[in-house]
Every structure is written in structure tokens, then in C-alpha cells.
Structure 1
Amino acid sequence: MAVQQGREDVVLVTGCSDGGIGAELCKAFHAAGCTVYATARRVEAMAGLREAGIRTLSLDVTSDESVKAAVAAVLAEAGRIDILVNNAGIGLVAPLAEVDHKKAKEVFDANYWGTLRMVQAVAPHMAARRSGTIANIGSVVGYMCTPWGAIYSSSKAAVHNMTDALRLELQPFGVKVVLVAPGAVTSNIGANNLERFDDQFSMYAPFAAVIRQRASISQGSNSMPTDQFARGVVQQLLRPRPPRHFLLGGFVPLIQFALWWPMWLRDRVMSKTFKTDVVLPPAPSAAPAGPVGDKKAD
């Protein structure tokens, strides 16, 4: 797919550590002639982008102060932000009945609240100019959840709903809002999921191996190369009228097809794929005690 050339938009992208989707999006925007500001919590994690001549800034989407400071720096230097891409986020793989609450809250703080922080920092400036595009990175699992990944999927479903409402709310101000839903795309997410993975399960000890496999399922042979994905997304975002929802990556045709299935069929396929189509034997338990106060007669 050819990227539209000659654009001079000012683009701000979050979550741009080298090797990820955000970094490749920055390269694709840069190749299209845009002025790109790449951001991540650690500037040193974007060394490859700096070498490519792309501006880099420190930005932690979980911090109000960091978001405000980074946006202010871009506006002070460039004078405007034409395109905001909310890409920063983290994953988590764990069974819901045993998920660590702290880790679950971190996912929502980065994926949902982080997106909202960026929107609230940038949208007023776009609205004042009656121009701009906000692209929120969701996921195909935001449309259809899988076992072992419900926290991440739920955070992305929340981003989907936010995006749909935001599109209508910003329409009067001439600001376009797009949902980008990646399928399987080669990136750091599998390694990052495994780094956060904790297999100290109690109820789900028999499923530890398949839960671990779920952590990197998007990084298999069906994954789309990150640069190909980025070029496709940038091509769509630089259109005068970008799509409301844009899905791209491995498994996308399957997910789109499966959304039409009846729930019983979807459950059957999911349970077979993620190994929940079993009935475990009863857990060993102590022999039942007798009634309280029961004594042998003298």
C-alpha cells in the first residue's frame, strides 16, 4: 500500500518504544512528510526513532502532569497537533477468578484512562481550530473476548465505546475520531505479556501452560509485519475522510466472520481453542465432619 506523500501534518503518537507498533507508525508518518513527535515513558527506548530524525519526548500516559507537559511542549514548538494517535498501552493474561487486582488496574489506567488523558489534553486545541484527527488504538479482541485475556479485552472494548461516543461529541468541532483495531501484528506485546505473566495459579494450575501460550498468541505465523500494518494505518488516517473503524492484521477476517456466529458456536470454538472444553474431576477435600456438638453416648 502506498503512503500518501507531501503531507505536513503535525502528528503526536504515544507508546513509541523501538520494536512496537507506535514506532513503526512514527516511521510511516515521517515517510509521508509529516512532522512527528514520538513519545514513550523512557526517551532512551526510542533511540531508533531519534536516529531516523524523528522528534522524541518523554510521556507517561498514566500521569496527568506528564501528559500536560508533553502536549504543551509540542504545541509550543509546532503550534498545533493535527493528528493524535493514542497507541500506548499494556497487556495482561490471567484467569479472571485469580487475576491480580493491581495489575488489572494498571491495564485500565494505561489503556483506557491514558487514552482519555490524552484526549482531554489535545481535543480542546483541535476543537479551537475546528480541525484534527484523533485515532485510538483498540483491538480485535475489543470486539470479541477470549478466555485468559479478559482484562486486556475489556480495556480495549472500553476504548471502542469511548471512541464511538467521542466521534459524535467532537463532530460539531470538525474533529475526526477513528478507531484502529489491530489484529495479530508483530510487536513487543507478546514479550511484554510474558514479562508480566504470573503462573502461580491455584484454581487454574492445570491450565498454566495454555494460559502462558495465550500471552504470545498474536506473535505467531499469522502476524502481520509491523511496517506493513503501519503503512496501511497511516494511509487511512491521512485520507480527507478516514474510516470510523479500521481493522487490519492477522486473524481480522476470522474475527469479522465469527462476529456473525451464534453464541453457542462462538463458545464452542473458543473453548476448544483455549482448552476450556474439559470437565475437571472434583478437588480432593477432607472428610466431612460430624454435626457440631455430636457426642457418643456414655
Structure 2
Amino acid sequence: MAKIPPAVKAVDKKAILITGASSGMGFEAAKELASQGHSVYGAARRVERMAQLTEYGVHTIELDVTDEEACKDAVGRVVAERGRIDVLVNNAGYGSYGAIEDVEIDEARRQFDVNVFGLAALTKAALPHMRERRSGTIVNVSSMGGRLVSFMGGWYHATKYAVEALSDALRMEAAEFGIDVVLIEPGGIKTEWADIAADHLAESSKGGAYEQTAVKTAEGMRRQYSGKMMSDPDVVVRAISRAVNAKRPRPRYLVGFGAKPLVAAHAMLPTRAFDWVMKRAVFAPSRRKPRRSQQCRPR
């Protein structure tokens, strides 16, 4: 696969807004895209954590994606300063694991607000500007977890399935205006995502019927993500970079540890067999040299 060049031609430089840029994949993607010569705006709630990005020429924006007016203002700033917005990378999101019965509806609603409705608000704010220019790319960072469900991750997966459906619908709607819609679907990626998801899982189960299983599942998640199985965030950064720089980006980029084999297994195995595989994967001990077909937790 061809590598993305370290810099792009002046005529190809784009105005890019990327959310969730304070850490992990969003931070690294903002840094990479800016180093290629693009005009990059990194947005996140914790703006102080993006201070290092300014050294690479990234413009930082304090943004809570659950605030619809703030989403409009963020897009408006990019357009005001650059005259356009060429690319929106919806990367902000988090994982809140827990049994369906255990997770409070307020927490489930918040996860939808961040992972789905925040993405939608930014997309709605950017689309009119892209339509006017009849050009643009919307990159939605989903997960292989938008195409299968892992143990005790029901609410999280519900948000990612929603992102997949919205992206598929928007891709068809926006095509006539020259706008591309891309899904990035990471598998197991070594970021702080797993610790957050595991913490939510353990906390939500306290004193409940699922506590013992939930604690073991959380331990399994931490063990898997602290081992050597998971992919580095670079694989996702490269996929985002390819989508941003391509003249005709692919609709989907399925990348990272376990993504392709697990999605294939989900398509081929009977439902109960796949359920068994996913539950067993949580409690399986990690290995130093895993085979490509071993299971993992999705981003």
C-alpha cells in the first residue's frame, strides 16, 4: 500500500476540523495532517491537552460536541479564517461498557449525545458550506464495533451502529453535491479508550446481578489492552490521512488488530457461535505472540 507523502502540494492543502484532538488517535491525526501542510483545527473539551499541537501549526478550539451552538461556532471559525471547510473528521467519542440493565439511562443518553448527536451536529453545520463549494469530505471514526457486538458493550455498540447507519445514509444523500462520506472502523487500538470503558463497566455493576462477571470482563479488557496484541494508533492515523488526501476515498477503512477477521467471522458464523466466541475472548489469557485470528475488544 502506498505511503502518504510527508507534504502535499499547495493546491491540495485543505482546511480540516478534527474533534477529539486532545489525546490518542485524534491528537496524532491532527499532528500528522498539519505536518503535511494542511490547515488543521483540533477541537476538544480539554484545550490545555492540545497545547503541544500548536507547535505543529494546529489551531486549537475548545469544544464540547454535545453543545449544538458550540459546534456551529467551531465550523464557523474555520470558514471565517480559511474561507471554507474541506474536511470534517468526527473523531470525538468514548466507550461506556456495562450490562444493559446496569447502565443508567442518563449515561446511555450521554454516550449517544457524544458519539452520535455531537457527530450529527457538526456534520449538519459543515454540510451547507461543502454543498456550496460542491466539494468536501466527512470522515466518521466509527469502530469494528459498529458491525459486531462484544460482551457487555451494548450501549457503546448501539452508538457505533448508529454512526454506521447515519454515514451510509449520508454517503448516498451527499454524493450529488460532490461530498464524500468515509467510515474509519478501527479494531483493537492501544489507547486510553479501554481503561475508560473498563472503569465504566466495573462501576456500573457494583452491587448488581452482573457484578462478578463484569469485574472479570473489565480485568480481561485491561489485560488485553496492556499487552502486545493491540495495534498502535498510527494505523488509524494512516487511514484518516489516506481518506483526507485521496481524490476518491474508500467508503470504509477497516483497520487495526482483529478488525477484518472478526467482521468476517461475524458474517460467517451462526449467531450463537459468535456469541460464544466473544464471551470466551474476554476471559482468555493474553499471549505474547497472538495469531492474526485471535479476538480483541473494539475501539
- Give the whole-Å Cα distance in 1 for the aligned partners of 2:103 and 2:55: 40
Of 143, 152, 171, the residue aligned with 2:156 is 152
Question: TM-score under structure 2 normalisation?
Answer: 0.86
Q: How does 1:1-298 map to 2 (within 5 A)?
A: 2-4=3-5, 5-6=7-8, 7-18=12-23, 20-197=24-201, 198=203, 199-213=205-219, 215-216=221-222, 217-218=224-225, 220-259=227-266, 260-274=268-282
SS in 1 for 2:101: helix
SS in 2 for 1:36: strand
- Give the whole-Å Cα distance in 2 for the aligned partners of 1:253 and 1:71: 34
- Give the whole-Å Cα distance in 2 for the aligned partners of 1:223 and 1:129: 40
Could you say if the C-alpha distance between residues 120 and 211 of structure 1 is closer, same or farther in structure 2, counting changes exceeding 3 Å? same
CA shift, 1:47, in A, is 1.7
Structure possessing the higher radius of gyration over alpha carbons? 1
Cα RMSD (Å) = 1.7
Q: Is the 8 A contact 1:61 1:115 kept in 2?
A: yes
More helix by share: 2
Q: Is the 8 A contact 1:185 1:219 kept in 2?
A: no
| Aligned pairs, number | 274
- Give the whole-Å Cα distance in 1 for the aligned partners of 2:112 and 2:98: 15
- Give the whole-Å Cα distance in 2 for the aligned partners of 1:109 and 1:39: 16
Could you say if the C-alpha distance between residues 51 and 201 of structure 1 is closer, same or farther in structure 2, counting changes exceeding 3 Å? farther
CA shift, 1:223, in A, is 1.5
Could you say if the C-alpha distance between residues 102 and 220 of structure 1 is closer, same or farther in structure 2, counting changes exceeding 3 Å? farther
Structure 2 residue identity aligned to 1:258: A
Equivalent residue for 1:295?
Answer: none
Structure 2 residue identity aligned to 1:9: K
SS in 2 for 1:56: strand
Structure 1 residue identity aligned to 2:259: V
Structure 2 residue identity aligned to 1:174: G
CA shift, 1:194, in A, is 4.2
Equivalent residue for 2:292?
Answer: none
- Give the whole-Å Cα distance in 2 for the aligned partners of 1:101 and 1:12: 31
CA shift, 1:215, in A, is 4.9
Q: Is the 8 A contact 1:182 1:247 kept in 2?
A: yes
Q: Is the 8 A contact 1:222 1:251 kept in 2?
A: no
Deviates more, 1:49-58 or 1:147-156: 49-58
Structure 2 residue identity aligned to 1:3: I
SS in 2 for 1:246: strand
Q: Is the 8 A contact 1:134 1:178 kept in 2?
A: yes
Any unmatched runs of 5+ in structure 1? 276-298
SS in 2 for 1:97: coil
CA shift digits 1:42-66 (9 cap, x unpaired): 2112122123221111111100121
Q: Is the 8 A contact 2:182 2:243 kept in 1?
A: no
